[in-house]
Amino acid sequence: MDAIPEAIQNPDIKYTKLFIANEWRASSSGSTFASINPSTADKIADISEAKESDVDDAVKAAKAAFSRNSEWRRMTPSERCKLMSEVADLIERDAQYLASLETADNGRPYSLTYGDVMTVAKNFRYYAGWTDKYHGKTIPFNGDYFCYTVHKPIGVCGAIIPWNVPMIMFSWKVAPCLAMGNVMVLKPAEQSPLTALYLASLFKEAGFPAGVLNVIPGYGNVAGRSLAHHDGVDKIAFTGSNTVGRLILEAAAASNCKRVTVEMGGKNPNIVFSDFDVDRAVKLSQTAAFGNSGQVCCSGSRNFVQDDIYEQFVRKCIEEAKKRTVGDPTDFKSAQGPMISEQQLQRVLGFLERAAANGAKIVSGGNRIRDRDGYFMEPTVVTELTDEMEISKEEVFGPVQQIYKFKTLDEVIERANNTRFGLAAGVLTNDFNNVMEIANEVNAGVVWVNCYYPMSPGMAFGGVKESGFGRDLGEYAVQNYSDVKTVIMKVPGRH
Ligand code: NAD
């Protein structure tokens, strides 16, 4: 087998400072934090840590870029479209580098991060197309008046993103934001800041004016908190945990009532009816549960399986979980890389320990993989669960497939909805009635039928209930980055 190129295994790290007004700056305090490769537990870079004054500088730079008559504000939609398309081209040009950087920083297998880069480029191209298309209406008005609406940018938008798919999250926030003519200050997660910094350099290279995009790595309770509370920020787009999402909502209320969109976690049901081919169901269900080491907000973590195929399904899941290759994420043979951190690995093991103590059965896996230095964990299958256990209610965010038995359609709908979350759901069945009932009745922002995980730039992604509100992707995201202004004009020469 061919050796893995050194450039993929150990990418050269070019940018580690704050990106403010198209310049690379050390943090005003001089402090840094370590970026760790989760496959080896080695430090790969010291990253400048944004503190309150740096956040303030970034917001000021963004505000200046958004000022009346600034280069950015005077740009035509077609010019904005060209810049965004240029960024997409540069992202594709540097695909191998960006993918290897993401794999080194986050542990997501290179075979997936390369695909992520292509998705990110597609997202920017898609939103380049929206720069001149999100228009208002002319509205019939009582009296001699002419009334129209126009969709205006909101202004300075803050984005706070998680570590699980960093480049994808970057594109979900930045692309619709800039397409609508806003400016942005983005705080990547402290566990995975490297690709956001490199992507920022491509915005400068493409010719975006200074201050339109600013990237400030730092800790959540310092830089994130400060951004969420900043009076100069007009909107915050957050993706992350439910706990922090609540803090963002509080911060908006305690400061300037900035607009907020929050994409929080999920405890997503993936429902398998017995009419569906069992082998395919096992494959799709494990993709849903184990993809990205289960560190996905929309992972199919609660796998409901109809009783007449349950035993067979569980047996096959155990066989397949044992065959799953976990290892070096730069190796194409690895289906699963490490967890993001020691802390996340311990958190997942803790859920399993408490579930087992309460009667759940770990039928495959359940352990740390100890023959490597990084944070690797066995793909794990758990049965004998009740809906009331902690593990059935909370996001585990690890490679854990939880299998539950059900009998009837009505029962499974009720149990699928027995959660405070409502992000995604899946159903595997050939029965049209089951499809329609699940699609209509399960409370989720996204429902996958006979598939799990396909996404495309034009769809909408987001949750209901405590999974949050607002949508990423598609036209719905441009709505979330614009305000509607109504203009009413007296028609000249009439009463
Ligand atoms: P997290 O909530 O701990 O952190 C998310 C971001 O918030 C990070 O950038 C972090 O630095 C920042 N943050 C932390 N404390 C903060 C504070 N007090 N004020 C402001 N910002 C703060 O989440 P995580 O552990 O990075 O990511 C995992 C979580 O994200 C999971 O719960 C997962 O479901 C969720 N997630 C949701 C989606 C979605 O679209 N719904 C997508 C990906 C991840």
pLDDT of residue 3: 82
pLDDT of residue 301: 95
> What is the SS3 assignment for 21?
coil
Which residues, in sequence order, are CB contacts of 435 under 8 Å at separation 6+?
427, 429, 449
Average model confidence (pLDDT) across the chain: 97
Two structure tokens written together for 388: 């009331």
pLDDT of residue 371: 87
Q: Give this prediction's pTM.
A: 0.97
pLDDT of residue 495: 58
What's the fold here for domain 6-264?
Answer: Aldehyde Dehydrogenase; Chain A, domain 1 (3.40.605)
Strand partners, 404: 304
For the stretch 270-291, pLDDT in tens is 999 999 999 999 999 999 999 9
- Residue 257 φ then ψ, to 5°: 55, 40
- Residue 126 φ then ψ, to 5°: -60, -50
In the predicted model, is pLDDT for residue 1 greater than 60? no
297 is known as an active-site residue: yes
Can you tell me which atom of ligand 1 is nearest the CA of 188?
9
**How many angstroms does the Cα of residue 120 sit away from the middle of ligand 1?**
20
Whether the CB-CB separation of 257 and 294 falls below 8 Å is answered with no
Which residues, in sequence order, are CB contacts of 3 under 8 Å at separation 6+?
none
- Tell me what the mean pLDDT of segment 16-41 comes to: 97
Cα separation, 204 vs 226, in Å, equals 25
pLDDT of residue 150: 97
- Residue 246 φ then ψ, to 5°: -65, -40
Q: Of 158, 294, 173, which Cα lies nearest the Cα of 218?
A: 158
pLDDT of residue 494: 60
Pairing mode of beta strands 269-272, 424-428: parallel
The angle, 0 to 180 degrees and rounded to 10, between the axes of the packed helices 409-416 and 432-441 is: 30
**How many angstroms does the Cα of residue 163 sit away from the middle of ligand 1?**
8
> What is the SS3 assignment for 37?
strand
- Size (the chain), residues: 495
Strand partners, 337: none
Can you tell me which atom of ligand 1 is nearest the CA of 243?
2
Whether the CB-CB separation of 232 and 257 falls below 8 Å is answered with no
pLDDT of residue 4: 85
pLDDT of residue 157: 99
User: Quick check: CB of 163 below 6 Å from ligand 1?
Assistant: yes
- Residue 180 φ then ψ, to 5°: -85, 5
Q: pLDDT > 70: what percent of the chain?
A: 99
Whether the CB-CB separation of 104 and 37 falls below 8 Å is answered with yes
Going by pLDDT thresholds of 50, 70 and 90, the confidence category of residue 111 is very high
User: Quick check: CB of 164 below 6 Å from ligand 1?
Assistant: yes
Question: Which residue among 49, 86, 190, 263 is the active-site one?
Answer: 263
Pairing mode of beta strands 42-48, 424-428: unpaired
User: Quick check: CB of 228 below 6 Å from ligand 1?
Assistant: yes
User: Quick check: CB of 445 below 6 Å from ligand 1?
Assistant: no
In the predicted model, is pLDDT for residue 198 greater than 80? yes
**How many angstroms does the Cα of residue 313 sit away from the middle of ligand 1?**
33
Cα separation, 395 vs 351, in Å, equals 10
Spell out the domain ranges in the chain.
Answer: 6-264, 269-457
For the stretch 456-465, pLDDT in tens is 999 999 999 9
Can you tell me which atom of ligand 1 is nearest the CA of 297?
34
Q: Of 127, 237, 111, 109, which Cα lies nearest the Cα of 176?
A: 127
In the predicted model, is pLDDT for residue 234 greater than 70? yes
**How many angstroms does the Cα of residue 207 sit away from the middle of ligand 1?**
31
User: Quick check: CB of 108 below 6 Å from ligand 1?
Assistant: no
For the stretch 53-84, pLDDT in tens is 999 999 999 999 999 999 999 999 999 999 99
- Residue 20: how many other CB atoms lie within 10 Å: 25
Q: Of 47, 316, 305, 1, which Cα lies nearest the Cα of 197?
A: 47
For the stretch 386-439, pLDDT in tens is 999 999 999 999 999 999 999 999 999 999 999 999 999 999 999 999 999 999
Cα separation, 228 vs 214, in Å, equals 15
- Residue 114: how many other CB atoms lie within 10 Å: 19
The answer as to CATH 2.60.120.380 being correct for domain 269-457 is: no
Whether the CB-CB separation of 135 and 367 falls below 8 Å is answered with no
